[in-house]
Amino acid sequence: MLRQFIHNFFLKRHFWRYASFSEVAEIYASRTLRMIAVGMSTVFMSVFLYQHGYGVQFIAAYWLIYLLFKAVVALPAAKYAALFGPKHGVLLSNLLYIPSMILFAFVPDLGVPAIVATGVLQGLSMTLYDICYLTDFSKVKSAEHA
């Protein structure tokens, strides 16, 4: 009886334990679509920078600094996910990605400051998204609850 009570109590709080295959498939499909979009924007950004006169060394250095920045902000992003929850983190990461793409459109006019601002916002967005998404799915810890 106690076990059934606990089971019913957590049913509403942990929907993925009882989610149908189609619901889980939708979550994976949304992640796949976001990762494809981010990959396409990354390729577009590199080509765009090259067409506007930035050299291959500059573009490679940009992506190196971007990845190092993501490593630096991983701990603050994890702290945010712990304080506010992974779903709020995913929402914030989606909202941060929008101004990063808008700022990138101003690269021909503003130059390097727009590239730096884009990299900071995009790095924050992607790091927060990855940590929060993976944290949200790591809550299932046993086969009984999966």
Annotated domain spans of the chain = 2-137
23: which residues sit within 8 A by CB, 6+ positions away?
A: 15, 16
pLDDT in tens, the chain (146 residues): 666 665 555 555 555 555 556 666 777 787 888 889 889 999 999 999 999 999 999 999 999 999 999 999 999 999 999 999 888 998 999 999 999 999 999 999 999 999 999 999 999 999 999 998 888 766 555 555 54
pTM of structure:
0.76
Q: Report how far Cα 116 is from the mean position of its chain's Cα atoms.
A: 19
Q: What is the 3-state secondary structure (H, E, C) of the chain?
A: CHHHHHHHHHHCCCHHHCCCHHHHHHHHHHHHHHHHHHHHHHHHHHHHHHHCCCCHHHHHHHHHHHHHHHHHCHHHHHHHHHHHCHHHHHHHHHHHHHHHHHHHCCHHHHCHHHHHHHHHHHHHHHHHHHHHHHHHHCCCCCCCCC
